[in-house]
Amino acid sequence: MRIGILCHSSLGGSARVATELAIGLAKRGHIVHLFARTIPFGYWDVSNGVILHIITSRPENNLPSAELRIDWQDQEFEAYLSEVMKIAPFLDVLHFHYAVPFAYVAAEVKRRLGKACPLLVGTLHGTDVSIHGRDPQRGPQLMRALQNVDVLTTVSISHADLSTDIFGLVTQPQVIQNFVDLEKFHPREAGAFRLNAGHRPRIVHVSNFRAVKQPQVMAEVFLKIREKMDSELWLIGDGPEMEGVKNIFRQNDMDGDVRYWNIQYEVAGLLAQADLLLLTSRMESFCLAALEAMACGVPVVASRVGGLAEVVLDGKTGLLFDLDRPDQAVQLILGLLSDPARYRQMSESAFRHAGNYDRRNGILNYEELYLRHLSSEAKIAVEQNSIKKLQDTFTW
């Protein structure tokens, strides 16, 4: 298949899933074009087989902003659309991840190409629904744009329900959950399902430090834990709420108990050294950080919101607390970190459960979705192209 993928360049889950999907599909022999405003977050290697299209450059070695940039200037939108239009007539599938602004791009592609438009697939990831979908101005615009999409998916049952309600969808989005690379995210050593020996318990928080993650609540939770247990906090990421978090710790003379890792391209090695992941989000459609932590055998303590309850099995792979009861999080963490036998059991369960979200299966799910919804004519063209590729690999 010839596939185009539209995504943001930030460190958020939607961009990471989109780029992993693009690379995985290219490795499976598909021709994949990835369209992003700047080079996507992470170490981008041309050898991954993906054809990358960007409209503006970032200074070399300059980390991207943690803030999700959705308010594009008119000239940026037009430049991006122009780049997509160069390729769209030759694609079988055009798939966007995150609705703003990519649902508008897809709608315009369909308006211009008409019946020649590729199959339009959209994946709703989080705040594109929970925040922008509720916006009095942007919400109705998104609703109209999404009517042009042929197939709509999202990442959890909870988010499918929310999307259907907010956008008044006739057909509920299909759920294809996010996935994790189990070759990259795994315990620090075989069978290491125990509290790390040789140092005080390490609690880790990974996020883009946006308001929806409530990182200042996370900081207050750790302060109360620290009063009862000698422990340390690792903060991975950066964003608009980080300065407020730092102020809380400065005011409480906690600099020696908190380590700031800033934005990291690779978090697997750090997660594997942690004992517990703490999340205090106000809303989550899925939460890739939780899945990645569990793949490393790290239990998760998180707010009981959105798709988190589908990813973290309460009492088995982690513990959930009520959103308005952060004091519950304190007690749950203190109890778990004081009980080595229970911790080991939960760590093992977290690792096993993460195996259900293997990257390969996630990519195959999207591939099957494309094939199921392509027109008969497009399927024939795809099959003929596959046969030709197979023939070209032989020396007669």
| Residue-wise pLDDT tens digits, 309-339 | 999 999 999 999 999 999 999 999 999 999 9
The residue with greater pLDDT, 245 or 192, is 245
Closest CA to 279 of 229, 344, 235: 235
pLDDT at 390 over 60: no
Whole-number pLDDT of residue 382: 61
- Domain ranges in the chain with CATH number 3.40.50.2000: 2-179+358-392, 202-356
Place of tokens 């903060």: 235
Tens digits of residue pLDDT in 334-356:
999 999 999 999 999 999 999 99
* Mean pLDDT within 8-29: 92
Quote the radius of gyration of the chain (alpha carbons, Å).
22
Whole-number pLDDT of residue 379: 60
pLDDT at 285 over 80: yes
pLDDT at 396 over 60: no
* Average per-residue pLDDT for the chain: 91
Q: How confident is the model at residue 386 (pLDDT cuts 50, 70, 90)?
A: low
pLDDT at 113 over 50: yes
Whole-number pLDDT of residue 394: 33
Q: How confident is the model at residue 58 (pLDDT cuts 50, 70, 90)?
A: low
* Mean pLDDT within 130-147: 95
Whole-number pLDDT of residue 393: 37
Domain 2-179+358-392 is classified in which CATH homologous superfamily? Glycogen Phosphorylase B; (3.40.50.2000)
Tens digits of residue pLDDT in 245-266:
999 999 999 989 999 999 998 8
pLDDT at 11 over 90: no
pLDDT at 392 over 50: no
DSSP string, 145-207: HHTT-SEEEES-HHHHHHHHHHHT-SSPPEE----B-TTTS--SSTT--SPPTTS--EEEEES
CATH 3.40.710.10 fits 202-356, yes or no: no
> Whole-prediction pTM value?
0.91
- Strand locations in the chain (E): 2-6, 31-36, 51-54, 93-97, 119-124, 151-154, 174-175, 202-206, 232-236, 258-262, 276-279, 300-303, 318-321
pLDDT at 391 over 90: no
pLDDT at 65 over 80: no
Q: What percent of the chain has pLDDT over 70?
A: 91
Q: What percent of the chain has pLDDT over 90?
A: 82
Whole-number pLDDT of residue 63: 52
